[in-house]
Copies of this chain bind each other. A is one copy, B any other.
Amino acid sequence: MRQFVVTGHDVPTTPEFSLDDLPGGAGRLDLLARCVTSALVLSHGLREDVRVHLVLADEYTVTFDGSALRNFNPDERSTAARVRNALEEREEAIGHVPVETSPGVSLSRMGFEATVETAAKAAETVVQLHENGDPAVEVDPPTDPLFVLSDHHDFSDGERALLDDVADRRLSLGPKAIHADHAIAVAHNYLDTDGYTTY
């Protein structure tokens, strides 16, 4: 299984935001929505062996599970609506037990640290994308990777300290700093081609 954690620092933690202004009023939820699509869709269906975890302001996490999702649309507005619907049921999430808010979408009361640590348990290798990391082309792709990414902000000091602690690998996908959703597309390509060897 491939997993992606994307931390959204400015995303609302209540559902009172408009789907008409995702970049502004919803704290760049547009970017997080594109990350979900980037992680999950192929031309002809979903990547069933993928989970994406969106961390909302270090307070909640909404997880999309490719094996259980139904009627998924790739546009930002639809994905943002699923996040908003999940937030409407936030009071149902007790402790770290997730509540499923639609098929394949669940919300849990976990911030960045708990989400990364929980996802890491199902991962073989925790990957931190890093400008000074090893070039992807020189590294054999891990089988069950967890990639940890940030939104339009850098990781906070606390997030970085946790990653220094739990990451097994620092990987560079290329010389330019790119948006998280594009990094996910590139990471998939690295894995799909088995490290640029299989086309």
Contacts and interface: CB of A to CB of B under 8 A. Distances in A.
A179 B185 CA distance: 10
Q: Interface size for chain A: under 10, 10 to 19, 20 to 34, or 35 or more residues?
A: 35 or more
A22 B199 contact: no
A193 B177 contact: no
A82 interface: no
B186 A174 contact: no
Contact of A192 (B43, B77, B175): B175
Interface string A163-179: 00000000011111111
Interface of A: 19-20, 22-23, 30-31, 34, 37-38, 41-44, 73-78, 135-137, 152, 172-179, 181-182, 185-186, 188-189, 192-193, 196-199
A42 B199 contact: no
B41 A179 contact: yes
